[in-house]
Amino acid sequence: MSTLGKKDLGVRKFDLLFSQDKIARRIREIGAEISRDYEDKDPILVGILKGCVVFMADLIRAISIPIEIEFVNATSYSNGQIQDDKVVLSDGPEVDLRNRHILIVEGVVDSGNTVDILIKNLSLMEPASIEIVTLLDKPNDRQKDVNIKYIGFDAGDDFVIGYGLDVSQKYRNLPFIGKVID
């Protein structure tokens, strides 16, 4: 149950940060890189819900080699735009990940807590490798030292919405990325 006040439920003001075209071009580039890097590796892409959904749908169609997809649910307890470091994972992949190449797919890496806990969990299953691909990176807020292999864009310090990313569960359906300006 959220503790959001009325002000959080209203209409947000935002500026365009990354356009649909710009995002589409960047995802095609990343898809091509992954196709080269993982040729013959039969990777499993593990998307972190819900922020990964739009990015993952586009990314997998930009990859030209055989892949598999799985998802994991991550809930980070948050109050509107404020995140803290309590991340709960659930509904993770049930396939055998031993000796498999895993690519974690995230919408935005901010503190790094979510990907950090997921990497720790997946490592227990003894995969051949674990890497991260994220549409957006916010490196200035990092609390965990995570190494990201593929980054779409640097979102700086902005709180961003759209393309799967939310504020109070809304705006995930915007087909571009905006920065909230209040």
Q: Which of 114, 130, 133, 177 binds ligand IMP (CB under 6 A)?
A: 114
Burial of 7 (0-12, 13-18, 19+ CB in 10 A): exposed
Crossing angle of helices 20-37 and 53-61, in 10° steps, is 60
The residues with which 154 forms a beta bridge, in sequence order, are: 137
Q: Which residue among 31, 43, 47, 51 contacts ligand IMP (CB under 6 A)?
A: 51
What is the closest distance, in whole angstroms, from the C-beta atom of residue 95 to ligand IMP in the complex? Answer: 23
Q: Is 113 in the site for ligand IMP (CB under 6 A)?
A: yes
Residue 110: which of ligand IMP, Mg ion, none does it interact with, CB under 5 to 8 A by kind? Answer: ligand IMP
Cα Rg, the chain, nearest whole Å: 16
Helix or strand run (H / E) with residue 151:
strand 150-154
- Residues 9-48, mask of contacts with ligand IMP (x by CB under 6 A): ----------------------------------------
Interaction of residue 112 with ligand IMP, rule CB under 6 A: yes
- Is 91 tagged catalytic? no
Distance in angstroms (rounded) separating the CA atoms of residues 4 and 169: 11
Residue 35 has what DSSP assignment? H
Examine residue 110 and tell whether it contacts ligand IMP (CB under 6 A).
yes
What's the closest the beta carbon of residue 41 comes to ligand IMP, in angstroms? 26
Size of the site for Mg ion (CB under 5 A): 1
Secondary structure of residue 82 in the 3-state scheme = strand
Residues that bind Mg ion (CB under 5 A): 166
Q: Which residues are part of the catalytic machinery?
A: 110
